[in-house]
Structure 1
Amino acid sequence: MVKQMNRQPDSHQVQFLSIKNKSLQCLASFVLCVVFLSLTAAWNRFPFVFSDSGTYIDVAITHFWPGDRSALYSLFIYPLHLKLTLWPVVLVQAAMTWYLVRVFFRTFAHAFREEQVVLSVLVLGLCSSAPWFVGQIMPDVFAALLILAIATAVIGQDRLARFDRVAIPLLIAFFITTHLSYLIIASGTLALCLLIRLLSGRPTPPLARVFTKVNISMVAAIALGVLTMLSFNIITKRGATLASTGNVMLLGKLIDQGIALDYMTEACPSRAWPICATLPELKQIKARAVAQGKPIGAVSDTFLWGGPLVQLGGMTVVSKYASEITNGAMRAYPSQFLQEALRGFLAQTVTFQVGDDMIRYNPDTSIHQIIARHFDADTYAAFQSSRQYQQQLHVDRFRIADNVLLGLSALVVAGYLLLHWRSNVPLAQFTLVVLGGMVLNTMVTGALSAVHDRYGSRVSWLVPLIALFIISEYIRNKTGTVRVVETGKPRDAMSPARSV
């Protein structure tokens, strides 16, 4: 059993909202946090949508499996909406977020209490980017949750509950299947965790720090995610591949960088690639983008979605020879490819404003047509009456709050790492892993895709999350609440006691 010192009430009598029962406290925390995380979408009067949202809704209904993105997110949301309403998708994404945030607090807190989670989620729900992605019909919300799950499970593995040891690997495997970039982010984040454990200076042998049950379950989770994607593509006759047309997406990136254009200029006279006929047009698109100072990725977006790809027969047709071009271009211009990838990474680092994708989608767009086709008139009318569709979101106001919270949180986290990291070494290790995972997210998107604010803002709320935890622990210290284990000895800051 757990006791309190400094005249604090015994832990089993600590109340939350006048509730003594711990199970009811947890239920109240769940309900409140799901509401807080869904408030922004509720204020919009409809779940947020992106141009890709239509594809994710449509795929599981029509069984048209795209080669450029995972269909498994579509299969995940279909039983939630059943062509009736999209709100269950938002609620389930909010529930996943609450669970992982709560496990993080419960794992690293000196004296966990439900109000820590609820108050922190309230701040995140009002002032961070988190609710914008929780409330959106897109798998972008899982980028931050993937980093949070791996960092919590590996760094705090000695304090995980039995349920967490099963649930977190399953969630990680699922997250990986929902977006092609998540495999790289998950693998890199796990590698960073294992490196930190290896160098942690624990009394156990180095191999024992790495080959633990939790660490093995993390590797198994990543393998399960990969196996699921491969199996799905084999079943749908797209071959043993993670993305049958992923090479076309990379071709778009290399066209944006210019090296694919240079390579095709040299190679087209001796090749019969159909894309060679569009080379003059692609060069003009690139020249206009440079002259107008358009951001990195504007050329690839135009190539992929602006018409040229459709004229060539679509992704499936171009994918037959795209790899030959991309491989040849990277071999011919390796230094230029690395330079452009670095430029994209640096540009993405400072591109993280919330709400850049919260635009109006007109009746001629796919998301508009798909909602009209698959849902009833009331749902379609609700979509048309949403603030996003009516262009009444006023995202700039939320952006100010998000930027202020981000700035203050960065100061809190930096101050903690520089001055107080010894007070909770596992938390410092966790923070480094999360920051490393955010850098990986930036590298993957900036170097291999277009530069967009949503790629940065989908993980930026992790910084305020850590800052809010640090502040809650500081307040706990000031109030004198110290939890001790059964022996009566104060809990060592190096190994937080397992909470319920």
Structure 2
Amino acid sequence: MNRQIDRPEVQFLAIKNKNLQCLASLILSVIFFSLTAVWNRFPFVFSDSGTYIDVAITHFWPGDRSALYSLFIYPLHWKVTLWPVVVVQAAMTWYLVRAFFRTFASAFREEQVVLSALVLGLCSSAPWFVGQIMPDVFAALLILAIATAVIGQNRLAKIDRLAIPLLIAFFITTHLSYLIIASGTLALCLLIRLLSDRTVTPMARVFTKVNISMVAAIALGVAMMLSFNIVTKRGATLASTGNVMLLGKLIDQGIALDYMTEACPSHAWPICASLPKLKEIKARAVAQGKPIGAVSDTFLWGGPLVDLGGMTAVSKYASEITNGAMRAYPAQFIEEGVRGFLAQTVTFQVGDDMLRYTSDTSIHQIIERHFDAATYAAFQSSRQYQQRLHVDRFRVVDNVLLALSALVVAGYLLLHWRSNVQLAQFTLVVLGGMVLNTMVTGALSAVHDRYGSRVSWLVPLIALFIVSEYIRNKTGTVRVVETGKPRDTMSPARSV
């Protein structure tokens, strides 16, 4: 592996030692990615944050979501403070952003990472998810990790070849949708490799050590989820009550309501008694022009599901209804799925989940129950709790950055992609992963801004990289390898 040598003009913060440069980059980037949460005076919370805090403490394992994120954050907060969770999530973000820059830059410098972290921390959606006690931050990191590892594998550092697959496996365990996103993103990477480098056989393009490690990472993530559910007596399943979540989606689409209208006279499903109420909820949502997912949210969290005995009770017959409904109305199911996907595509405003969770909400009660008085007081004094976040102002900044970044990325893909084909391939994979995120959430779940905004910051990240490389070329600052030749005149070398 070629050792890279910096000329004096590329020293970072007048630091000569590489390890100290990396440490400074980590510290500064973690600060920048945590700025919004620090400004809030408490990590951001969502209604689901309470579940993720609570289950590892009480050992009540939910069937509708992975409890492994709860097990991840428990030793970090230890019922003392939630800030270490933010710090670790910021450090993961820094690591993968740095791995991307280090892998694709013609002349990597720590300033690229730190300045990008500063811009993203001030102007993008990234810090809102880095600073939130939710696994949503890992959606973007999952796409970034797979694209960096597979497309840039010829220049991937040794540490990344081990660390990135392990991170991918972990990310997959934290949310049920991430398995689909990871598999689809990897498939897109492999397709691009098959269609590109024709100097080697198709088998050699696909069956590389890095590609195999990606498949192994996905398999490891699935195995961890299955093993956990087996150990906790929920069976060999990824989500024991996932069929109830799908039932909520089909009720929202109207398919399940139509099917139950026909099937209930010959079936003894307890939900049949609630059918008139569910139809009324659906009709009211349509009349009021409520967004896609409003009926599903009402069914799952607004009372009807509780009246039916909860998720465990309904899951016993939910699959029978969902399977029957999709078989009876396949065209409508696809049509509604496409409609949800299109709606989610244009739904990505930051901060829609930054609500005030008062004393009658579970997250408020869980923080009060499990943490000391100082932490509980800090939660109540946060800007989110006091409704003083001024999210609308951040949305303007985020939207401006997104628009400018989209122009930069589009211009690069149209006019300059030949200057760095691997970067163009990486960009296409990331955009494809973002589309997959939109498809999974819009077609199979409710439509919410947070599902779009959790990955939207990847576009500014790519734009910042393009701009930094452009400035590098203009200023003539080049990192060289031991031979004294600029990297872009040599065969691809691994980063260090």
Give the alignment's TM-score, normalised by structure 1: 0.97
Paired residue for 1:185?
181
Q: Distance in 2 between the 1:89 and 1:123 partners? A: 22
Shift of 1:2: 6.0
Select the residue among 84, 87, 101 that pairs with 1:88. 84
Measure, in 1, the Cα distance between the counterparts of 2:92 and 2:139.
Answer: 12
| Matches for 1:316-465 after TM superposition, within 5 Å | 316-465=312-461
Query: Once the 2 structures are TM-superposed, how far is the Cα of residue 164 of structure 1 from its aligned partner?
Result: 0.7
Contact conserved, 1:111 with 1:499, CA < 8 A, in 2? no
Distance 1:236 1:178, change over 3 A: same
1:63 aligns with 2:59: yes
1:31 and 1:483 mapped to 2: Cα distance? 24
Instruction: In structure 2, give the amino acid aligned to 1:479.
Output: T
Residue 26 of structure 1 corresponds to: 22
Q: Which residues in structure 2 correspond to 1:95-244 (within 5 Å)?
A: 95-244=91-240
Indicate the SS of the match to 2:34: helix
Matched, 1:259 2:226: no
Q: Say yes or no: does 1:44 pair with 2:40.
A: yes
Structure 1 residue matching 2:420: 3-state secondary structure: helix
Asked if structure 2 preserves the Cα contact closer than 8 Å seen for 1:169 and 1:221, the reply is: yes
Q: 4+ runs of 1 displaced by more than 2 Å?
A: 1-4, 10-14, 481-500
Q: Quick check: 2:234–2:240 contact (8 Å CA) kept in 1?
A: yes
Gapped runs of 5+ residues in structure 1?
A: 5-9
RMSD: 1.3
Measured in 2, the distance between the counterparts of 1:35 and 1:161 equals 25
> Is the 8 Å Cα contact of residues 426 and 495 (structure 1) preserved in structure 2?
no
Tell me which of 271, 291, 296 is aligned to 1:295: 291
Instruction: State the Cα distance separating 1:13 from its structure 2 match.
Output: 6.9
Tell whether the 8 Å contact from 2:197 to 2:205 is kept in structure 1 after alignment.
no
Q: Secondary structure at the match of 1:469?
A: helix
Q: Is the 8 A contact 2:25 2:113 kept in 1?
A: yes
For structure 2, the residue ranges without an aligned partner over 5 or more in a row are none
Alpha carbons of 1:281 and 1:420: their partners in 2 closer, same or farther (altered >3 Å)? same
SS at match of 2:384: helix
Say if 1:496 and 1:112 are closer, same or farther in 2 by CA, change over 3 A: farther
Could you tell me which residue of structure 2 aligns to residue 283 of structure 1?
Answer: 279
> CA deviation digits over 1:72-96, x for unaligned, max 9?
0000000000000000000000000
Aligned in 2, Cα 1:90/1:125: closer, same or farther, shift over 3 Å? Answer: same
- Partner Cα separation in structure 1 for residue 486 and residue 332 of structure 2: 57
- Equivalenced residues, count: 495
2:302 maps to 1:306? yes
Q: Distance in 1 between matches of 2:489 and 2:418?
A: 8
What are the superposed Cα offsets for residues 187-223 of structure 1, whole Å, 9 maximum, x if unpaired? Answer: 0000000000011134111110100000000000000
Q: State the distance in 1 between where 2:315 and 2:387 align.
A: 37
Q: Deviations over 1:292-312 (max 9, x none)?
A: 000000000000000000000
Q: Secondary structure at the match of 2:487?
A: coil
**Do structure 1's residue 271 and structure 2's residue 267 form an aligned pair?**
yes
CA contact (8 A) 1:14 1:20 kept: no
Shift of 1:495: 5.8
The equivalent of 1:54 in structure 2 is 50
> What amino acid is aligned across from residue 384 of structure 1 in structure 2?
Q
Aligned partners of 2:36 and 2:112: how far apart in 1? 21
Q: Is the 8 A contact 1:143 1:459 kept in 2?
A: yes
Q: Is the 8 A contact 1:2 1:484 kept in 2?
A: no
Instruction: Give yes or no for contact 1:184–1:444 (8 Å, CA) kept in 2.
Output: yes
Q: Does the CA-based 8 Å contact 2:10-2:477 persist in structure 1? A: no
Q: TM-score, normalised by structure 2?
A: 0.98
CA distance in 2, matches of 1:175, 1:459: 14
Question: What percentage of residue pairs aligned between the two structures are identical?
Answer: 89
Work out the CA distance in 2 between the residues paired with 1:361 and 1:488: 59
Which residue identity is paired with 2:47? S
Q: Given residue 405 of structure 2, which amino acid in structure 1 is its aligned partner?
A: S
Distance in 2 of aligned mates of 1:376 and 1:185: 38
